[in-house]
């Protein structure tokens, strides 16, 4: 796919959402792909209806060493075939639960504000398994309102980093801040199931060194409510201080994806 094809191929997507900025965004990142520096991240435009990659950025080869043409011709099945066998069951469960959550809990007109993150291990061209964190934003939905076209960003991490398969669904709110709507760790629960999604948002912002006032502004709640969440989090996790909480989370960063 070349840049000039984007408008014609995805015209129905852009027309249905009436968001020119979305079209400009995709067009520009593809135009810039040639000039972007090599890094540990790459992006694709994915089509889960026919299991194909509509576009693959150049950094994919730099990150994984795989042949982009093979990925385009053989599609997602080829990519999935390289997944670590120990991750397949948890990965499938994660995708199924994210889809069920979306269809059962998110209103149709809000689904374009959703963002989904999950992780797994993929075998690179050297035969080594590396961690991949995938974040996908849906662009188009089928007649049953299931997301089928997505803009996916992949971050590749060293295999020595111990990540457990987890999945997160977040919604962009009126303040352009993502709120956690769903989270599940599919290997084990180092953070109690009793932690609410709002408390998880507070934890995520605490790790980023935001104050209670800053967190209150970002989540559109009062500072007193933030402090109440902080006390409840410490009590639920049976720890004594916010510093101890931050240390625990930074040791297990996959818990707050």
The model's pLDDT over 216-240, given as tens digits with 9 standing for 90+, comes to 998 999 999 999 999 998 888 777 7
Task: Please state, in angstroms and rounded to a whole number, the distance separating the CA atoms of residues 228 and 178.
Answer: 21
Q: What is the pLDDT of residues 34-43, one digit of tens each?
A: 888 888 999 9
CATH number of the CATH domain containing 222: 1.10.10.10
Inform me whether the pLDDT recorded for 74 exceeds 90: yes
Q: Which of 172, 187, 202 is the last residue of a domain?
A: 187
Do 63 and 140 lie in one domain? The reply is yes
Domain identity same for 79 and 155? yes
Residues 155-169 pLDDT 10s: 999 888 878 888 999
Same domain, 152 and 194: no
pLDDT-based confidence at 9, cuts 50/70/90? low
Radius of gyration of the chain (CA): 19
Q: Output phi, psi for 136, to 5 deg.
A: -125, 130
Considering the chain, what is the average pLDDT of its residues? Answer: 82
Domain endpoint, select from 187, 206, 227: 187
CA distances from 120 to 4, 129, 223 (A): 33, 10, 37
Q: In the block, which residue shows the tokens 């007649």?
A: 143
Residue 15 has pLDDT above 70, yes or no: no
Query: 147-157 and 166-172 as β-strands: parallel, antiparallel, unpaired?
Result: unpaired
Please, are residues 102 and 114 in contact by the beta-carbon 8 Å criterion? yes
User: Per mean pLDDT, which range of 74-83, 92-101, 230-239 is the poorest?
Assistant: 230-239
pLDDT score, position 222? 93
Q: How far apart are CA 40 and CA 63, in angstroms?
A: 6
Q: How many angstroms separate the CA atoms of 46 and 42, rounded?
A: 13
Its domain, for residue 221, covers 189-257
Structure token pair of residue 252: 């297990």
pTM of the model: 0.66
Torsion (CA) 70, 120, 162, 202 in degrees, nearest 10: 130
Pick left, alpha or beta for residue 220 (phi over 0 → left; psi -120 to 50 → alpha; otherwise beta): left
Distances (CA, A) of 223 to 210, 228, 244: 12, 9, 21
Range with top average pLDDT, 18-27, 128-137, 202-211: 128-137
């Amino acid at each position: 796919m070349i840049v000039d094809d984007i408008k014609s191929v995805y015209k129905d997507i852009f027309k249905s959402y009436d968001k020119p900025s979305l079209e400009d965004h995709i067009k520009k990142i593809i135009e810039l792909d040639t000039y972007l520096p090599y890094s540990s991240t790459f992006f694709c435009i994915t089509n889960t209806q026919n299991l194909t990659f509509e576009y693959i950025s150049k950094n994919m080869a730099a990150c994984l060493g795989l042949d982009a043409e093979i990925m385009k011709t053989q599609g997602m099945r080829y990519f999935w075939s390289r997944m670590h066998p120990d991750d397949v069951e948890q990965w499938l469960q994660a995708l199924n639960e994210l889809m069920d959550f979306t269809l059962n809990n998110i209103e149709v007109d809000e689904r374009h504000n959703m963002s989904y993150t999950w992780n797994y291990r993929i075998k690179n061209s050297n035969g080594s398994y590396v961690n991949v964190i995938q974040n996908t934003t849906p662009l188009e939905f089928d007649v049953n309102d299931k997301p089928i076209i997505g803009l996916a960003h992949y971050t590749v991490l060293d295999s020595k980093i111990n990540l457990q398969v987890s999945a997160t669904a977040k919604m962009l709110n009126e303040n352009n801040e993502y709120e956690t709507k769903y989270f599940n760790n599919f290997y084990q629960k180092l953070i109690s199931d009793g932690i609410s999604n709002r408390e998880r948002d507070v934890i995520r912002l605490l790790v980023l060194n935001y104050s209670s006032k800053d967190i209150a502004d970002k989540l559109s709640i009062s500072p007193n409510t933030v402090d109440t969440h902080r006390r409840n989090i410490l009590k639920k996790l049976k720890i004594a201080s916010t510093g101890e909480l931050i240390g625990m989370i930074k040791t297990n960063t996959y818990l707050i994806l």
